[in-house]
């Protein structure tokens, strides 16, 4: 094995010692609550590792059958969802924004009837899309300049679950939503559990214990890592964020092609509809998010519309704004 094959997190069975071997040739050892108890340089020759701590002492260890024997301790390879590992991924993406993310060594529950479940495989991303899935993708990581995320001893499941597809009620495979297949949106969960048998079991497990959630990828972006969401300057979508959200370009009166429907969108986030000459037929609040408009009528029902170029499509009507 190459030295790079040993990079990652090594942990004692009781979790007290957490030993990170970084790709830079540095190590960082946490002991109990001390996250940086020992740090220094390391060198791997075959299955032997030598350490030179920053404080001056030396130590060594040996890799035997996938286990690290070091200083009288036995350490096991574990997926690394520490803040430091998340920061390394973010740094690598900033330095190489076009480098693809490659999640490797996980059990893959794809939700797809053709691909099925993969006992140990990889997920290669291309922007917001899954470019490849299955075993063997790691062999081309260097060719693609991929940022490798070690996911051994984890399970990857779709972040969006289509219950119709899950119960084999979709007549066309292409109609399924959220399945992990090449060409699909790259949105999935990485669970710190290797024995999850089904997607439903994985969802139930993370609902019961949120600590099993190692990472969340949404449209190709790592939005949650370890025990906390990744920092993001953009506000999350919520009713508070959308409250009173209007678009001055769309404020005014919109009239359908027959003249039956007149819909006035006010700058105060209120709408007022005239139907067949009947004023104030419907009134309420509206929110505009991109090219979508949501309505909450004062009677209590919700409706929506889409802006396409200079046309508003709403409830079967085609409306244009009055000059």
pLDDT at 242 over 90: no
In this predicted model, what pLDDT tens digit does every residue of 99-120 receive, in sequence order?
A: 999 999 999 999 999 999 999 9
What does 32-60 look like in DSSP terms, one character per residue? TTEEEEEEEEEEEETTEEEEEETTS-EEE
What is the per-residue DSSP string for 159-200? SS--HHHHTT--SSGGG-SS---TTSB--EEEES-S---SHH
pLDDT reading at 15 higher than 60: yes
User: How confident is the prediction for the chain on average, in pLDDT?
Assistant: 90
Contacts (Cβ under 8 Å, ≥6 apart) of 149:
89, 101, 102, 103, 104, 215
CATH class of 83-229: mainly beta
pLDDT at 234 over 60: no
Q: Which fold is adopted by the domain 3-78?
A: Lipocalin (2.40.128)
Q: How far is CA 108 from the centre of its chain?
A: 15
pLDDT-derived band at 243 (thresholds 50, 70, 90) equals: low
Q: What is the pLDDT of residue 8?
A: 85
Q: Tens of pLDDT along 29-84?
A: 999 989 899 999 999 999 999 999 999 999 999 999 989 999 999 999 888 898 87
* Domain-wise residue ranges, the chain: 3-78, 83-229, 241-321
User: What's the whole-model pTM score?
Assistant: 0.72
218 touches 209 (CB < 8 A): no
CATH of 241-321, one of 2.60.40.740, 2.40.128.290, 3.20.20.100, 3.40.190.10: 2.40.128.290
pLDDT digits (tens, 9 = 90+) for 163-188: 898 888 998 998 999 999 999 999 99
Number of neighbours of residue 192 by Cβ within 10 angstroms: 21
Given this model, what pLDDT does residue 314 score?
A: 97
Domains 3-78 and 241-321 share a fold: yes
Q: How far apart are the first and last CA of the chain?
A: 71
pLDDT tens across 118-160, in order? 999 999 999 999 999 999 998 888 888 899 998 988 999 999 9
Whether 291 contacts 220, CB under 8 Å: no
Q: How far apart are CA 133 and CA 142, in angstroms?
A: 17
Asked if the model's pLDDT at residue 240 lies above 80, the reply is: no
Using the predicted structure, report yes or no on whether residue 245 has a pLDDT greater than 90. Answer: no
């Amino acid at each position: 094995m190459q030295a790079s094959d040993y990079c990652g997190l090594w942990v004692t069975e009781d979790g007290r010692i957490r030993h990170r071997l970084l790709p830079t040739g540095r190590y960082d050892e946490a002991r109990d609550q001390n996250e940086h108890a020992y740090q220094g340089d390391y060198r791997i020759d075959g299955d032997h590792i030598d350490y030179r701590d920053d404080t001056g002492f030396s130590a060594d260890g040996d890799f035997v059958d996938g286990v690290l024997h070091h200083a009288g301790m036995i350490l096991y390879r574990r997926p690394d969802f520490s803040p430091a590992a998340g920061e390394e991924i973010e740094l690598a993406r900033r330095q190489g924004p076009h480098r693809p993310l490659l999640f490797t060594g996980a059990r893959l529950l794809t939700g797809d009837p053709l691909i099925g479940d993969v006992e140990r495989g990889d997920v290669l991303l291309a922007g917001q899309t899954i470019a490849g899935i299955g075993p063997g993708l790691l062999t081309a990581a260097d060719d693609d300049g991929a940022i490798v995320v070690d996911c051994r001893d984890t399970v990857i499941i779709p972040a969006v679950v289509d219950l119709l597809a899950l119960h084999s009620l979709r007549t066309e495979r292409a109609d399924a939503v959220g399945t992990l297949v090449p060409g699909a949106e790259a949105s999935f969960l990485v669970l710190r559990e290797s024995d999850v048998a089904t997607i439903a079991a994985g969802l139930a497990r993370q609902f019961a214990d949120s600590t099993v959630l190692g990472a969340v990828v949404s449209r190709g972006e790592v939005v949650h890592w370890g025990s906390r969401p990744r920092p993001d300057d953009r506000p999350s979508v919520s009713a508070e964020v959308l409250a009173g959200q209007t678009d001055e370009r769309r404020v005014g009166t919109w009239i359908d092609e027959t003249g039956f429907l007149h819909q006035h969108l006010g700058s105060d986030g209120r709408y007022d509809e005239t139907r067949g000459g009947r004023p104030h037929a419907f009134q309420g609040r509206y929110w505009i998010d991109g090219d979508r408009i949501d309505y909450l009528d004062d009677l209590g029902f919700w409706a929506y519309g889409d802006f396409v170029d200079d046309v508003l499509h709403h409830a079967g009507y085609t409306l244009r704004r009055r000059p």
